[in-house]
Amino acid sequence: MIDIEFVRSRFIKHFDGKTGNVYTSPGRINLIGEHTDYNGGFVFPGAVDKGITAEMRANGTEDTVMAYAIDLKDRVDFKLSDPAGPKASWARYIYGIAKEFQKLGVPVKGFNIAFAGDVPLGAGMSSSAAMESCFACGLNDIFGDNKVSQWDMALAGQATEHNYCGVNCGIMDQFASVFGKAGCLMRLDCRSREFEYFPFKPDGYRLVLLDSVVKHQLAGSPYNDRRNSCENVVKHIAAKHPEGQFETLRDCTWEQLEEVKDEVGTEDYMRAKFVLGEKDRVLAVCDALNEGDYEKVGEMMYKTHEGLSKDYEVSCEELDYLNDIARECEVTGSRIMGGGFGGCTINLVRNDLYKNFIATAKKKFNEKYGHEPKVYDVVIGDGSRRLC
Ligand code: GAF
C-alpha cells in the first residue's frame, strides 16, 4: 500500500499547507466469473493489497475542486457546477463520483484532493474502481456523515463509469473494492446482490498474476459491444417467449439460445455461449472450493480462458501465449483476468511448480516479445476505508 506520509507531503505542498483525512481502496482479482456481472450472473472476486490512497479535505468553496494526481504530477481544478466536467480522464472519476453523490442527496461542496496508487494501471486489476471507491469513501466521510451505504458507494462508482467515462461496466469491480476482506474471496450474485465471503487459503497452492503489459483499456473499446451482443440475444429470446421474464442472459437456457442461433448471427451467438458456460463454471468452482478440489478449480479456469479467447474474443496473442506457457509448466489453472484486451492472466499454481513456472514464463515471453511479464503475487486484502 502507498505510504500515507508520501501522499500527505504532496497534499501539504500542493494546497494550503493544511492536512486532511486519508482514505484507501483496493484493486481486485477475480478467480472466475468473467463478463457475467452485467449478465446477471455470479462473480468470484477478492480485493488485493494494492490500490489508491487519497488525502481529501473540504476547502470551504461552494463547488471548486482542486485535484492533484501525484503519480502523473498533474494538477486540475474544476467546478462541480460545470456540466462538461474536467477533460483529464483521471479527474473525471473525481467529478463523476461527486456528481453521483449529489444525486444521492449528499451536499458535496468544494474540496482538495491529492492521490497516488500502487495498483498497476491498465493491468485489468481495476485501478479505476479503486479510484472511484476511494473518492466515494472520502466524500461519504467528509460531506455525507458516512450515511451512504456500501452498496450505494459501489453503485455510484459504476454510474461514474457509465455516465462520465464511457464504459458500460457491470458491478463486480466496485463491489470488490468496497466490500473486500483480507483473506477472503467473495461470491456475488450480481442479480440479487447477495454475497458471501469465502476464506481462501488453498493449501499447497498460490495465486499469481502475470501481466502481459499489453495495456488494457475499456473506454471506447469493444467491451461495450460485448455487452450489446448479450443484450441482443436476450431480446430475441424474450420475443420468442412472451410468457417469460428475460432481463439478462442469467434468465436464459442453452435450449433457448439454440432457438435463436440463426437469427442473432454467429458473433452474438458465440458471446452468449461463453456467458452461459461461464455461469455454470462459477457454480462448479464454488462446489470444488467447498470440497478443497483445486484441480477442478484449475480445470474450470482453463475452460474460461478458452471461452474468453475463442468465443468472447477478448484475449490477445500475448495473453494466449502466457496461457500456453502455464499449460506447459503444468500450472493447475490459468486464464485472462478482468475485461480482457490485454492486462494479466491469473494463475493457480502448486507451490512446488511456482519457481519453474515464473522463470519459464519470464524467459519465453522475453524471447518472443522482448520484455518479461510483470509478476504480482496475490495477497487478498481489505476494502475501502479511512486510514487517518
Ligand atoms: C471489467 C468490468 F469493469 C467489470 O464490470 C466486468 O465486466 C469485467 O470487466 C469482466 O468480468 O473489469
How confident is the model over 114-138, as pLDDT tens digits? 999 999 888 899 999 999 999 999 9
Q: What is the pLDDT of residues 6-50, one digit of tens each?
A: 999 999 999 999 999 999 999 999 999 999 999 999 999 999 999
Q: Is 132 in the pocket of ligand 1 (CB under 6 A)?
A: no
Residue type, 273: K
pLDDT at 216: 73
- Report CA(126)–ligand 1 centroid distance (Å): 8
pLDDT at 26: 98
Sequence-ordered list of residues with C-beta below 8 angstroms from that of 69, at least 6 positions apart, any chain: 75, 76, 88, 90, 91, 114, 115, 116
Residue 217 confidence (pLDDT) above 80: no
Q: Is 339 in the pocket of ligand 1 (CB under 6 A)?
A: yes
Confidence of residue 1 (pLDDT cuts 50, 70, 90): confident
Determine the residue of 31, 125, 162, 172 to mutate for testing ligand 1's pocket, defined as the one with the most ligand atoms within 8 A of the Cβ atom.
172
Atom of ligand 1 nearest to the CA of 35: 11
Residue 220 confidence (pLDDT) above 80: no
Q: What superfamily would CATH give domain 205-377?
A: GHMP kinase, C-terminal domain (3.30.70.890)
Is 211 considered catalytic here?
no
Q: What is the pLDDT of residues 332-367, one digit of tens each?
A: 999 999 999 999 999 999 999 999 999 999 999 999
Confidence of residue 219 (pLDDT cuts 50, 70, 90): low
Q: Is 311 in the pocket of ligand 1 (CB under 6 A)?
A: no
pLDDT at 75: 98
Domain 4-200+381-386 sits in CATH at 3.30.230.10
pLDDT at 204: 96
Give the start-to-end residue ranges of the domains of the chain: 4-200+381-386, 205-377
Q: Is 45 in the pocket of ligand 1 (CB under 6 A)?
A: no
Residue type, 46: G
- Report CA(91)–ligand 1 centroid distance (Å): 21
**How is residue 38 written as a grid cell?**
452485467
Helices 127-142 and 172-179 pack at an angle, to 10 degrees, of 50
Whole-model pTM above 0.75? yes
CA dist., res. 127 & res. 207, Å (int): 19
pLDDT at 197: 96
pLDDT at 299: 98
**Among 37, 49, 118, 173, the one annotated catalytic:** 173
Average pLDDT, the chain: 96
- As to burial, measured by CB atoms within 10 angstroms (0-12 exposed, 13-18 middle, 19+ buried), residue 317 is exposed
